[in-house]
Amino acid sequence: MPHQILKVMSSNKIILRNDQIELIEELANVHERIGMPPAMSKILGLLAISDETELTFDQIKDTLELSKSAVSQALNHLLMSKRLSYKTKIGDRKRYFHLRIVDWDIHILEQFEGVSSLITVFKKIIANRPAETVEFNQNLEQMTNFLSLVHSQVIALHQKIEKKKS
Amino acid sequence: MPHQILKVMSSNKIILRNDQIELIEELANVHERIGMPPAMSKILGLLAISDETELTFDQIKDTLELSKSAVSQALNHLLMSKRLSYKTKIGDRKRYFHLRIVDWDIHILEQFEGVSSLITVFKKIIANRPAETVEFNQNLEQMTNFLSLVHSQVIALHQKIEKKKS
DNA sequence: AAAATGGTTCTTTTTTTTGTGAACTAAAAA
DNA sequence: TTTTTAGTTCACAAAAAAAAGAACCATTTT
């Protein structure tokens, strides 16, 4: 006769204040607006707001009330896209996930890649437009110039900050 | 006996060179990457690249091979979000849709609202974090400061351009 | 008055995206 | 050796987003 198997189902849910829950949702909403799926957005929110900056798989799962696989997939996606990292501790098999906030700059700069590609396409478009649509072309050029200016300013700002660090 | 109804189905498809088609798709892809649905993205692409900057409903529909309702809904969405506008001509019932490229700046500034709301949330988060997570809090502050700086620089750049216009 | 034009609106279908649940795995603990 | 832990992976379901289709509507043209 086989042993009786009993599942203990201990919850690893972490306790959050109401204002923390609201902030998590607010930050998650910002991420969702720029196209990130809900589960990933909530994880980023939780890791930014919870008092502990490093949380385990099950803490995330139980606190956000998501399935294991949803958490697994979201975490791996966030790890690959360099938004998260994790630590391990000796004598502990769990991973402790945390925001890669130390390199916040590489992430912001990456976002800015979108602007670069816009500039690139616009330049190609300008080169291909007929000369007749004068006003249209001028506006397109002004816009592209503005974007280029913004882009270089941001790069410059970032380099200033880099120098301060060293 | 009722008349025979014959549909003429004249196509209003406009002719595009291959390089134009590629550019339309490239620009549309940029828009899709930032979360805009395909039909809307393609319309923006078409209106930026086609030799004629003002196209009718049916030209858009036939050129992009979309259904009437898809075009109708996409156009209305783009009109409401101020990405497009249209003109009419006397003795012509059609509307001629075109990019609102004259006010490219108000549109770009609107996009930047996203950065503002990020800054706002981050500031709230900083105010709510426990003092213990020192390094985390510092990084969060540095990031927020950088974003604020970028934001004000962009506003400043825009105002410089505004002055030049007047 | 009938038909055509230039769309709009509503319902349905298709496609895509997210997330679930169950089975599985590798390593560690009992 | 069996169980437990800490996840991963896969097939599927639910939900949401896009687009299609058809009916409709207000003008305008015939």
Average pLDDT, chain A: 94
Predicted confidence (pLDDT) at residue B5 exceeds the cutoff of 60: no
Distance in Å from D9's C1' to A71's CA comes to 13
Number of H helices, E strands in chain A: 6, 3
B128 inside 8 A of chain A by CB: yes
Q: Please report the pLDDT score of residue B121 as a whole number.
A: 98
Q: How far apart are CA B160 and CA B154, in angstroms?
A: 10
- Whether A8 has a pLDDT exceeding 90, the answer reads no
- HEC string of A127-149 equals HHCCCCCHHHHHHHHHHHHHHHH
Closest chain B residue to A154, measured at CA: B150
pLDDT at B4 over 60: no
Euclidean distance between CA atoms B80 and B84, whole angstroms: 8
Contacts of A126 (CB under 8 A, 6+ apart): A137, A140, A141, A144
Dihedral in degrees, nearest 10, Cα atoms A91, A95, A98, A104: 100
CA–CA min distance A132, chain B (Å): 9
pTM of the prediction?
A: 0.93
User: What gap in Å lies between CA A74 and CA A52, rounded to an integer?
Assistant: 20
Q: What is the tens place of the pLDDT at every residue in B16-53?
A: 999 999 999 999 999 999 999 999 999 999 999 999 99
Contact A51 B130 (CB under 8 A): yes
Per-residue flag: A131 CB under 7 A of strand D: no
Q: Express each pLDDT in A87-110 by its tens digit.
A: 999 999 999 999 999 999 999 999
